[in-house]
Amino acid sequence: MRLGVLDIGSNTGHLLVVDAHRGAAPLPAYSHKQPLRLAEHLDAAGAVTTEGIDALTGFTAEAMSVAEDKGCEEMLAFATSAVRDAVNSDEVLAHVADRTGTVIEVLSGEDEARLTFLAVRRWFGWSAGRLAVFDIGGGSLEIAGGTNENPDVAWSLPLGAARLARQWFGSATPDDDAIRRLRRQIRADIARDAGHLLRAGRPDRAAATSKTFRSLARICGAASSGEGPLVARSLPAAALAEWIPKLRAMPPAELADLPGVSPSRAHQIVPGALVAEAVMDIFDLGELEICPWALREGVILERLDQIRVP
């Protein structure tokens, strides 16, 4: 069957069209995306602004038209942290549904972590053993771990790269004191519940997904996306530690010129790097393997699992 997956993230709206059936890897057929930056379209009260609502509504209508043109039999539409945490979330989704006819489901942080874990488990397989998975999104950090397809533990923290950039960086680069305070907050937030994962023992494999981790891995020397998803990629803790002072010293234009970094996300690289470094330090991980599958694939795989075989 041909499925359309509409992923409303904190940074980007992404429609992924896939050909999928049970027992096979989802095969991407078409991709349509737009930088919505919803995590940065929040007012002082935590509500999505009119500009953000209009951008989301316009993209959703456009995505539904594309999905129809591409022959999608079914649409799976979901939103993550930026919409989930907005104080006017219900109003935003009602507006989108009224204007486009599309009902967008809001995933909880735990479900986001759980579905991402499912995707990574399927990608690496049972040989991965006890698996730990980390995902830095625009609005949140997801952590999950376990030995099965459903993780034993899964939780979400408000430590997304776009959220931290908006809260701490604004229009200027923070000074050393602000960076120190941000670093301390990130590590305290992660360490608070780290025992959920640590008490089960050291994972046999530790993996990371999504754009921030992929960009950091590319900066640290991993293969480009053009070499295909089957090329092994990793983010070494030592290399990241060497790069962070350099990243902090770079103006936005130089950050945007780094391999794997898009201009719209350049301002998120430093806060994202601080979160990634904290993850590897607190969980004592020398490196993270980069998994090309993430939340969207998890949503697809769970839907395929629900389809009855005649």
The pLDDT > 70 percentage for the chain reads 98
Q: Is residue 69 part of a domain?
A: yes
Domain boundary among 52, 77, 106: 106
Domain boundary among 59, 82, 106: 106
Tell me the average pLDDT across 29-49: 92
Q: Are residues 31 and 79 in the same domain?
A: yes
Q: Are residues 102 and 113 in the same domain?
A: no
Task: Give me 109's structure tokens.
Answer: 């942080």
Tell me the average pLDDT across 166-177: 81
Angle formed at CA 304 by CA 299 and CA 310, multiple of 5 degrees: 165
Place of tokens 């090309």: 292
Any idea what DSSP says for residue 48?
Answer: B
Place of tokens 């809001």: 106
pLDDT tens for 83-117 read: 999 999 999 999 999 999 999 999 999 999 999 99
Which residues span the domain enclosing 245? 109-295
Q: Are residues 119 and 257 in the same domain?
A: yes
pLDDT tens for 25-38 read: 999 999 999 999 89
Residue 56: CB atoms within 10 A of its CB come to 27
Instruction: Name the domain count of the chain.
Output: 2
pLDDT given for residue 310 in this prediction: 53
How far, in Å, are 121, 241, 252, 269 from residue 245 at the CA level?
33, 8, 14, 12
Tell me the average pLDDT across 124-146: 97
Give the integer Cα–Cα distance in Å for 72 and 19: 9
pLDDT given for residue 252 in this prediction: 86
The pLDDT > 90 percentage for the chain reads 87
Q: Is residue 51 part of a domain?
A: yes
Q: Is residue 304 part of a domain?
A: no
Contact, 216 vs 269, CB < 8 A? yes
Q: Are residues 63 and 155 in the same domain?
A: no
User: What is the model's pTM?
Assistant: 0.95
Q: Across the chain, what does the average pLDDT equal? A: 94
Q: Is residue 133 part of a domain?
A: yes
Q: Is residue 301 part of a domain?
A: no
Give the integer Cα–Cα distance in Å for 242 and 277: 11
Q: Are residues 134 and 241 in the same domain?
A: yes
Domain with 88 in it: what CATH number?
3.30.420.40
Q: Is residue 300 part of a domain?
A: no
SS3 152: coil
Between 260 and 174, residue with greater pLDDT: 260
Q: Are residues 238 and 127 in the same domain?
A: yes
Q: Are residues 117 and 30 in the same domain?
A: no
Question: Is residue 172 over pLDDT 80?
Answer: no
E strands along 82-202, which residues? Answer: 105-106, 131-136, 141-146, 153-157
Q: Is residue 239 part of a domain?
A: yes
Place of tokens 């038209």: 65
Domain boundary among 72, 90, 106: 106
Tell me the average pLDDT across 138-164: 96
How far, in Å, are 120, 130, 155, 255, 293 from residue 125 at the CA level?
8, 11, 22, 35, 12
Cα-Cα end-to-end distance for the chain: 14
Q: Are residues 188 and 207 in the same domain?
A: yes
pLDDT given for residue 28 in this prediction: 94
pLDDT given for residue 39 in this prediction: 86
pLDDT tens for 214-242 read: 999 999 999 999 999 999 999 999 999 99
Q: Are residues 115 and 190 in the same domain?
A: yes
Q: Are residues 31 and 81 in the same domain?
A: yes
Domain with 183 in it: what CATH number?
3.30.420.150
Q: Are residues 58 and 138 in the same domain?
A: no
Contact, 276 vs 235, CB < 8 A? yes
Q: Are residues 98 and 158 in the same domain?
A: no
C-alpha gyration radius of the chain: 19
Q: Is residue 307 part of a domain?
A: no
Q: Binning pLDDT at 50, 70 and 90, where does residue 206 land?
A: very high
